[in-house]
Every structure is written in structure tokens, then in C-alpha cells.
Amino acid sequence: MPTLKRLAIWTLLATQTVVPAFAASAEQWAKRSIYQIITDRFALPPGADPTKCDAGEHTWCGGTWNSIRQNLDYIQNAGFTAIWISPVNQNYVGPKTPYGDPYHGYWIQDNSQLNARFGTADDLKALSKELHARKMFLMVDVVVNNVMATSTSPDYSKYMFKDKSMYHEYCPIQWGNHDSEQTCWFGDDKVPLPDVDTKNPTVISTYHTWVRELVEEYGIDGLRIDAAKHVNKDFWPGFVEAAGVFCIGEVYGGMEVNTIAQWQGPAALPSVLNYPLYAALKEAFVIPGTRNTSALAEVLLQEQQNFVDTTVLGNFMENHDVPRWHNMSVDPQSMYNAMAFMFMTDGIPIVYAGQEQYFSGNSDPWNREPLWVSGYARTPAYELIARLNLVRNYLIHSTDWVTQPTNVLTVSDNGIGVMKGPVVSVLTNIGSPPRNGSSLAVQSPYESSTALIDVMNCRQFVVGSDGWLDVEYTKGGVATILVPRDLLSGGPICPPSPSSQNVKGGQKQPSNGVRATVIGDWAIGFMALLTGAMMW
Ligand SMILES: *[C@@H]1O[C@H](CO)[C@@H](O)[C@H](O)[C@H]1NC(C)=O
Ligand SMILES: *[C@@H]1O[C@H](CO)[C@@H](O)[C@H](O)[C@H]1NC(C)=O
Ligand SMILES: *[C@@H]1O[C@H](CO)[C@@H](O)[C@H](O)[C@H]1NC(C)=O
């Protein structure tokens, strides 16, 4: 039955050249941007009471695959080209545990069934179909490392693997001990997570069949793999091949780039979530914080030296396991600048539902707020993300920007300047208050007098002598993304408006060393909504 549909999807994923299916899909995913959803928390079915969800209760709030499908406009209008949804397979069924109910979907009981809480097989297929009709991709979260139990001697007959011999013997994880992290059980004695023996040949072949069927049946375009580093690395290449689609593993960690980078490549996974970049973004942009942009530059360099391919890493500032950015950093410009960096550097940007609404929960369960309380408002953060997606999608379609490596141009107390392909991004961590006399100067490879447009507000810059660009902060610490004017002509980003066709020289503002000059606003009317909303 799914053959025709799969053919269509494969055509979508395939590139012109003859390459293995997996390589093509990684390449395609590099050009996507992802909106991360916990199915239970994104949207309610029509008629449901929106006041009944308390994240602190650790229980279901009522979101479904159908309600995601009915609210895709909100995601697509922000420019996203893919969604990642929480696990779809059957979870623990039973009394509420000391850690609540499995509304998040990660407490796998039987992977061979869908989770009826979120809908039927047809509902999931309808979501997939609707995404593809919108030319969007579906990424599904899968849990392979473990199942969930309420005792250390569970009844194995309820799981997909029904024999005790297909699991490691119970032992609590000794953190820091590699073997223990691989074979012992996650969780604790209240909610133990029995560890599947992923070296057992029956387990391996069953998982291969399972994942192939899951992907084919539901038209899944990519997988996010939970707790990937707790599975033996050599399990992954066969699993990825069986899946036949791009896989991105959760390899939780900090700035230890070379350890995490070992999980990407032909002997491991196509990609991992970019925890080192996340840690470095916090170092650089959280206010108050260390604001160490050198640490960010260092991580960027190390990633390019250690990862097989940085352009397919999953970049993020938030997810359901870490504090909301707005909990750590209240100044919105902190988030906007870090967000702009995340979109303009190597990797696939991932935004966790609710960040665009300034949600500020800290740890689990407070960082899993229901999105509907926001009224799906077009907040300044939402508009900023929409703008970044628009610019990134445009660059991807009109240049080879996405495969170019990011280079650091400058690191200073005020921020960081980077260049990827033709784009110069100047990001600051000074925060919202205007700072007259404060600026960030970067030396670009552009010839003096080259016209660049700040695509965040359509302001025109002209490159000064020796390639210098000087960004001033008289309107506060806003993100600046400079693209050659010629590259934008004819496109949807900052089209020249009739009134500004002849930019008057009178608006010149030579800065201290006659470096770069702002000479006028291009099509600022086009951006009125955005700029008005952005507190500038
Ligand atoms: C900033 O990060 C760099 C690189 O990681 C490190 O060497 C330096 O000590 C850090 N500086 C501060 C002030 O923490
Ligand atoms: C951070 O999260 C905690 C727990 O949700 C909350 O009590 C606190 O008010 C939050 N802080 C901010 C600044 O939002
Ligand atoms: C800072 O500069 C802006 C624009 O040049 C000006 O409007 C504002 O009055 C200045 N503020 C201070 C405190 O000097």
C-alpha cells in the first residue's frame, strides 16, 4: 500500500546525482529548519478546555497528531520546513508513577504499536501527508536504548522484546563509567528503564525490520534518536541503513567536542544534536553570564576539525530537557542574537515550541508548557524567527551558502563576527539598552564600497577601506546580518522600494574611522511590521 507514496517521498529526498539514499537525505536535511513539538503540548483538538493544563501535574493535556495537523500554518508561516514530534509508539499504561504519566512519549512499552493517546494510524498518516503536501518533512523521535518499567523485575511479555535475555541485567548507571552507561539501566528504582541488549542478534534484526516498517508505513523523512550514546556505537550504521532516512542522535553533553564528534560518521550516526554549540551559545550570549565569545569561536573551530560534517548537526537553544533560554536570560536581545547565530552558522536550526512565545520554564516538567496558552501570537520572537527562516531559505535556494564553512572574523567584548558563504553576521551580547559610542568592527573580504544589506531591517551598509564594517549600537544590541545587495536583487528579501531607489547621500553617517557607512533604508516599509514589533 505505501509503495507509491514512498516513491514520491524518495523522489523528494533524492538529488540529481546517483548517491546512496542516506547521503541524499542528509544533504536534503541540511537545507531544512526544524520546529520541535511535544505532541501532547502543541495544540488542543477543537472544543477542548484550554485552561486545564498544568505542566506541574506531569500528565496529559490532550494534544494529538490531528491537532498538530490542524495548526501547521502557525509553523509554516514562521518559515519552518520540517517538524520533529515526540515518540509515537505505545507507552506505559498504568497508575500514575511518582514522576507522573508518560505524556511526553518517552516511556516506551511496546514499540510495535502506536500510542493511542495521540491518535490512530490514519491520523499519523494524515499528518505526514499534509506535511508533504506543504513540502515539509516529518521527523519522528524514537527510543531504542530502553523501555520503561515500574520495578526492576518487570513483566517482559508486554514489551516488543518479550524475553528477559534481550535486556541487560539490572544495574544502576555509574555515571562516568563508559561500560556502565552503555549497559546499565537509566532511571531509578521508582521508574527504571530496562536497557535493551543491542548486541543481541535477534534484537538487532527485529529493530531493523521495525524501523524500516515504521518509516515506510508513516512516510517518515527523518528520525531523532533518544539516548543514542547509551547504545553501542556499532549498532547504529545497520539501524540507519534499515531506516533509510536521515537520523540525528541525542548525544547529551557540553563543550567536549571531540568526544561528541565520535558519534557522527559512517561508523556511527549521520548526525547528532549540537550540544557543544548549545553550551557555547550560553557562554557567549546569556545575560547576565560570562559572555565569552572566545569560547564560541573555539567550539566552532573544534567542531569543524572534529565532526565529519558540521552542516548537518542539529543546532538548538532549547529542548524539553534543558531550561528555556528566557529562564536563563531575560533580555530579549540575548535570545535574538544567539538565535541569529544559530540560523546563520553551520547546521540545521531547531526551535523548540514555545521559545517563540518567550516561555520561561526551567527543568522538567516546567519546560514543557502548553503552547495554546500563548494564543499562537505573532510575537517579536516569532517574527524574528520567521525572518531568519526566510533569509536562510532564500540563501539555500539561491546560493551554495549551506555547504560553506562558517569562519570567525572577529571576537570582541561586544560580540562576534562570522562569515559563511557571502553572509557576514555580526552578533552582540551587550543587550537591549542603546550604547552610543559602542560598536563592533569586523574586517570582511569585501572590496571597499561594496553595498551590503542588513537583512534584519533592510538597512544598507557600504564596505569601508580594507573591507572594514562597523556596526553601531545606538538602537541597542541588535543582530546584524549583512548580505551583498546584488545577491538579493529580484528576491523577496528587502526588494528596493520606489521611494528609496535613489538613496540620498545626505543620510551618510561616517563613523569614527570612516569604515562602513549606513547610507539609507531600503524598502523599510516592507519591514515596518517587523521592525515595529521588534522594540527598535
Ligand atoms: C573564554 O573561553 C576561552 C576558550 O574556551 C577560555 O580559554 C577562557 O579562559 C575563557 N575566558 C573566561 C573569562 O572565562
Ligand atoms: C525559571 O524557572 C523556574 C521554574 O519554572 C521559575 O520559578 C522561575 O521564575 C523562572 N525564571 C524566570 C526568570 O523566568
Ligand atoms: C544616542 O544616539 C542616538 C542616535 O544617534 C540619539 O538619538 C540619542 O539621543 C543618543 N543618546 C544619547 C544618550 O546620547
Q: What is the pLDDT along the chain (536 residues), one digit of tens a residue?
A: 333 334 334 334 433 333 333 334 899 999 999 999 999 999 999 999 999 999 999 999 999 999 999 999 999 999 999 999 999 999 999 999 999 999 999 999 999 999 999 999 999 999 999 999 999 999 999 999 999 999 999 999 999 999 999 999 999 999 999 999 999 999 999 999 999 999 999 999 999 999 999 999 999 999 999 999 999 999 999 999 999 999 999 999 999 999 999 999 999 999 999 999 999 999 999 999 999 999 999 999 999 999 999 999 999 999 999 999 999 999 999 999 999 999 999 999 999 999 999 999 999 999 999 999 999 999 999 999 999 999 999 999 999 999 999 999 999 999 999 999 999 999 999 999 999 988 999 999 999 999 999 999 999 999 999 999 999 999 999 999 999 999 998 889 998 865 544 333 333 333 333 344 444 443 332 332 232 222 22
pLDDT at 181: 92
Q: Which three cell numbers stand for residue 259?
A: 568526544
H or E segment to which residue 460 belongs: strand 459-462
Question: Do 432 and 456 belong together in one domain?
Answer: yes
CATH label of the domain that carries residue 413: 2.60.40.1180
pLDDT at 19: 31
3-state secondary structure at position 355: helix
476 annotated to a ligand binding site: no
Cis geometry, peptide bond prior to residue 445 (ω within 30 degrees of 0): no
H or E segment to which residue 240 belongs: helix 236-243
Residue 183 within any structural domain of the chain: no
366 C-beta closer than 6 A to ligand 2: yes
375 annotated to a ligand binding site: no
Strands 271-272 and 246-249: parallel
CATH label of the domain that carries residue 209: 3.20.20.80
The answer for residues whose C-beta is within 8 angstroms of residue 163's C-beta and 6 or more apart is 156
Pocket probe for ligand 1: among 286, 294, 298, 416, the residue whose CB has the most ligand atoms within 8 Å is 294
290 C-beta closer than 6 A to ligand 1: yes
Q: At what angle do helices 380-398 and 332-344 cross, to 10 degrees?
A: 10
Question: Do 397 and 424 belong together in one domain?
Answer: no
Question: Do 300 and 345 belong together in one domain?
Answer: yes
Residue 281 within any structural domain of the chain: yes
- The torsion of the CA quartet 483, 485, 489, 491, rounded to 10 degrees, works out to 20
Q: Which atom of ligand 2 is nearest to the CA of 367?
A: 5
Q: How far is CA 519 from CA 35, 163, 178, 510, 530, in A?
A: 37, 72, 58, 9, 21
| Domain of 25, in residue numbers | 4-141+202-402
295 C-beta closer than 6 A to ligand 1: yes
Residue 169 within any structural domain of the chain: no
pLDDT at 25: 84
521 alpha carbon – ligand 3 mean position (Å): 19
Question: Do 486 and 468 belong together in one domain?
Answer: yes
Question: Do 495 and 365 belong together in one domain?
Answer: no
Question: Do 232 and 330 belong together in one domain?
Answer: yes
- Residues, the chain, total? 536
Q: Which atom of ligand 3 is nearest to the CA of 509?
A: 5
Is residue 181 annotated as a catalytic residue, yes or no?
Answer: no
Question: Do 378 and 421 belong together in one domain?
Answer: no
Question: Do 26 and 63 belong together in one domain?
Answer: yes
474 C-beta closer than 6 A to ligand 3: yes
Residue 449 within any structural domain of the chain: yes
Please pick, among 250, 356, 470, 472, the residue that the annotation labels catalytic. 250
392 annotated to a ligand binding site: no
Q: Which residues pair with 461 in a beta bridge?
A: 452, 518
- The torsion of the CA quartet 527, 530, 531, 534, rounded to 10 degrees, works out to -170
pLDDT at 351: 99
pLDDT at 490: 80
Domain end: 346, 381, 402, which one?
A: 402
Residue 93 within any structural domain of the chain: yes
509 C-beta closer than 6 A to ligand 3: no
Domain end: 341, 373, 402, which one?
A: 402
Q: Which atom of ligand 2 is nearest to the CA of 366?
A: 5
300 alpha carbon – ligand 1 mean position (Å): 14
Question: Do 441 and 313 belong together in one domain?
Answer: no
Question: Do 380 and 265 belong together in one domain?
Answer: yes
Give the C-alpha separation, 171 to 185, whole Å.
6
Q: Which three cell numbers stand for residue 529?
A: 511590521
- Please say whether the beta carbons of 310 and 272 come within 8 A: no
The number of folded domains in the chain is: 2
292 C-beta closer than 6 A to ligand 1: yes
Give the C-alpha separation, 142 to 218, whole Å.
13
Give the C-alpha separation, 115 to 396, whole Å.
36
Please pick, among 226, 303, 331, 346, the residue that the annotation labels catalytic. 226
The answer for residues whose C-beta is within 8 angstroms of residue 75's C-beta and 6 or more apart is 35, 83, 136
Is residue 331 annotated as a catalytic residue, yes or no?
Answer: no
Residue 147 within any structural domain of the chain: no
Type of residue at 419:
M
187 annotated to a ligand binding site: no
pLDDT at 498: 59
Exposure on the CB side of residue 320, measured as CA atoms within 13 A: 25
Domain end: 402, 427, 457, which one?
A: 402
Question: Do 78 and 32 belong together in one domain?
Answer: yes
- Please say whether the beta carbons of 169 and 154 come within 8 A: no
Question: Do 360 and 426 belong together in one domain?
Answer: no
412 alpha carbon – ligand 1 mean position (Å): 12
Closest ligand to C-alpha of residue 287 is 2
294 C-beta closer than 6 A to ligand 1: yes
